[in-house]
Chains A and B, each alone.
Chain A
Amino acid sequence: MEQEIAALTERLAALEGGVAMSGTVNMEIFYWWCTALMIAIHAGFLAYEMGASRVKNVLASGIKNILAFAFMVPTFYFFGWYIYLAFYNGFIPAEDGAAGLPWAESMGPNLADNATGVFWAAFTLFAATTASIFSGAVIERIQQAAFIILAVLLGSVVWILGGAWGWHPTGWLTVKFGYHDVGAAGVVHMVAGFFALGVLINLGPRVGKFNADGSANVIMAHNVPFTITGLMLIIVGFFGFLGGCIIYMPGEQWINIYGQPATLSAFAFNTLMGFAGGIIGAWVKTRDPFWMMSGALIGIFAAASGLDVYYPPLAFLLGCFGGFVVPMVAVWLEKRGIDDAVGAFPVHGIGGLIGVVACGIFASGYPNVEGYPPVSLTGQLVGALTMALLGFIPGYVASLILKMMGLLRVPDHIQEKGLDVVKVPVKAYPENYIPGPVGTSEPTATPAE
């Protein structure tokens, strides 16, 4: 009898171990595929930027975007992951952050740690997303080295510091203010959008964008269908991005990044409803397919902070609002002499701002865990201000330094000639089936009322 009990106990222990390992491996698989899907974001941004460029700059824009991704990976390994783990209290690193140092045991193949590699990979892709957001804004006139420096600063330092503060179970914004931003509207999109704005002020517009009287010319994208397809590809990638924003707990309910219970179904409802609302809002406002697909992104960001809690028609209305309003911000920005080639600041900076503030208005009162404050409008406003400053100040200061060193802007005569012919050894369209360079002209379609 005792022998049978011992045998059963052994079998039970083996079964429990098998179930636990199965859960651990499933967790790894989930984040593996989220990371793979997130690469579609970069494929999308690549198409989007190259399509938005003129023929003479297509490949230079593509090279810039690809290099942002490449440099993000090692730099996020060198110090990005450490910043996330160590700086959740502010600017003083915590001791437990040492697990993210590049010589730590968990920062390489380790049979006792199935989690670090896949989480590091997912966060690296978030970092590369911020760099891609910034990349589109500065096409056709930023020097390559300056771009890489700024992209690394944004992706492997600035946004991840925001992530440590407001997208971490014990980040100070959460612990002190109940900041809630599950879909990273603030920590990714606001930070990247405001960083881009800071750089754009120092970088200046593309040659030919503005006339002497300050009026703006439309610099046409050389391939609008490519740009729209790229934007749709970004949406595909965002399903990986948002999947990476929820924590898989083997054997238990999902939790969000703050440790509150959540479901992937909640994300599915509200991501799609925000997406659709953004398209409709932007379509009603502009009738422009470029803005419709940008509206899809805006709609997701407008609902992103409260993806886990919104009533889906509310996410739809937030998306509509964002999609309708943000194109007006792009016009406002242009009237102030700022050339944001793809609308990165309006789409990500303002779209993210809408998302963060909306969560304070429409999700106030949701309880936190560990006795931390509940979601509140005050907490969201503090978070929004923090993310705006955290993005803008480093972007402005670093680009100002690069400008003073003569490293920021491509000389005007090179811009006129085109970047591809000057520094790219191959041609985008060698048989010239797309005539170029493309000139500037006013759109002729009937605008929205």
Chain B
Amino acid sequence: MNTAPIDTWEGAEAYFTFAHSPGMISLILIASVVVTFGAIVLAAVHEKHAYNNH
């Protein structure tokens, strides 16, 4: 999988992984947002569970 948007450093600007692929950027961004907020949901579930056990 070639993730690099550049094949030479000459004149390179935004060179981060998948910078040439809006689809992959969207996918990674959405996944990171889901993980961030999903973790908060999991925290709420865990906390409820912990309170019910004590």
Give A residues with C-beta under 8 Å from B.
Answer: 260-261, 266, 277, 280, 283-284, 287, 306, 309-314, 316-317, 320, 361-367, 369, 374-375, 445-446, 448-449
Determine if A309 and B4 form an interchain contact, defined as CB atoms under 8 angstroms apart: yes
Query: What does the 1/0 interface line of B26-47 toward A look like (CB < 8 Å)?
Result: 0011011001100100110110
Q: Which residues of B contact A266 (CB under 8 A)?
A: 16
Q: Give Cα A362 to B31, complex, Å.
A: 15
User: Which B3-54 residues have a C-beta within 8 angstroms of A?
Assistant: 3-4, 6-9, 12, 15-19, 25, 28-29, 31-32, 35-36, 39, 42-43, 45-46, 49-50, 53-54
Give B residues with C-beta under 8 Å from A.
Answer: 1-4, 6-9, 12, 15-19, 25, 28-29, 31-32, 35-36, 39, 42-43, 45-46, 49-50, 53-54
Determine if A287 and B46 form an interchain contact, defined as CB atoms under 8 angstroms apart: yes
Knowing that A313-B31, A363-B4 touch, tell me 18 more A-B residue pairs with CB under 8 angstroms: A260-B9, A261-B12, A283-B39, A284-B42, A309-B4, A311-B16, A311-B25, A314-B17, A316-B32, A317-B31, A317-B32, A363-B17, A365-B3, A367-B7, A374-B4, A446-B50, A446-B54, A449-B46
Q: Give Cα A277 to B38, complex, Å.
A: 13
Q: Give Cα A312 to B18, complex, Å.
A: 11
Q: Which residues of A contact B17 (CB under 8 A)?
A: 306, 309-311, 314, 362-363
Q: Which residues of B contact A445 (CB under 8 A)?
A: 50
Q: Which residues of A contact B53 (CB under 8 A)?
A: 446
Q: Which residues of B contact A310 (CB under 8 A)?
A: 16-17
Q: Which residues of A contact B45 (CB under 8 A)?
A: 449
Determine if A449 and B3 form an interchain contact, defined as CB atoms under 8 angstroms apart: no
Q: Which residues of A contact B31 (CB under 8 A)?
A: 313, 317
Identify A311's interface contact among B1, B19, B49, CB under 8 A.
B19
If A283-B39, A309-B16 touch, whether A362 touches B46 (CB-CB below 8 Å) is: no
* Residue of B7, B18, B32 with highest tally of chain A CB at under 10 A: B32
Q: Which residues of B contact A365 (CB under 8 A)?
A: 2-4, 7
Q: Give Cα A375 to B1, complex, Å.
A: 11
If A309-B4, A313-B28 touch, whether A320 touches B35 (CB-CB below 8 Å) is: yes
Determine if A366 and B6 form an interchain contact, defined as CB atoms under 8 angstroms apart: yes
Query: Residue of A at shortest CB range from B7?
Result: A367
Determine if B39 and A362 form an interchain contact, defined as CB atoms under 8 angstroms apart: no
Instruction: Report the minimum CB–CB distance from A97 to chain B (whole Å).
Output: 28
Query: Residue of A at shortest CB range from B15?
Result: A309
Q: Which residues of A contact B29 (CB under 8 A)?
A: 313
Q: List 17 A-B contacts (CB under 8 A).
A: A261-B12, A311-B18, A311-B25, A311-B28, A313-B32, A314-B17, A363-B4, A364-B4, A366-B4, A366-B15, A367-B4, A367-B6, A367-B8, A369-B9, A375-B4, A446-B49, A446-B53
Instruction: Report the minimum CB–CB distance from B47 to chain A (whole Å).
Output: 9
Determine if A449 and B28 form an interchain contact, defined as CB atoms under 8 angstroms apart: no
Query: Residue of B at shortest CB range from A255?
Result: B9
Q: Which residues of B contact A309 (CB under 8 A)?
A: 4, 15-17
Query: Residue of A at shortest CB range from B17?
Result: A311
Determine if B50 and A364 form an interchain contact, defined as CB atoms under 8 angstroms apart: no
Determine if A317 and B4 form an interchain contact, defined as CB atoms under 8 angstroms apart: no
Q: Which residues of A contact B19 (CB under 8 A)?
A: 311
Identify B35's interface contact among A280, A311, A362, A374, CB under 8 A.
A280
Q: Which residues of A contact B1 (CB under 8 A)?
A: 361-362, 364
Q: Which residues of B contact A313 (CB under 8 A)?
A: 28-29, 31-32
Determine if A448 and B2 form an interchain contact, defined as CB atoms under 8 angstroms apart: no
* Residue of A283, A446, A448 with highest tally of chain B CB at under 10 A: A446
Identify A280's interface contact among B6, B36, B50, CB under 8 A.
B36
Q: Give Cα A266 to B16, complex, Å.
A: 9
* Residue of A284, A366, A374 with highest tally of chain B CB at under 10 A: A366
Instruction: Report the minimum CB–CB distance from B6 to chain A (whole Å).
Output: 7
Determine if B39 and A280 form an interchain contact, defined as CB atoms under 8 angstroms apart: yes
Determine if A367 and B9 form an interchain contact, defined as CB atoms under 8 angstroms apart: yes
Q: Give Cα A283 to B39, complex, Å.
A: 9
Query: Residue of B at shortest CB range from A448?
Result: B46
Q: Give Cα A367 to B17, complex, Å.
A: 12
Query: Residue of A at shortest CB range from B30?
Result: A313
Determine if B28 and A314 form an interchain contact, defined as CB atoms under 8 angstroms apart: yes
Q: Give Cα A390 to B6, complex, Å.
A: 33
Q: Which residues of A contact B32 (CB under 8 A)?
A: 277, 313-314, 316-317
Q: Which residues of A contact B49 (CB under 8 A)?
A: 446, 449
Query: Residue of B at shortest CB range from A261?
Result: B9
Q: Give Cα A363 to B19, complex, Å.
A: 12
Query: Residue of A at shortest CB range from B35?
Result: A320
Query: Residue of B at shortest CB range from A259?
Result: B9
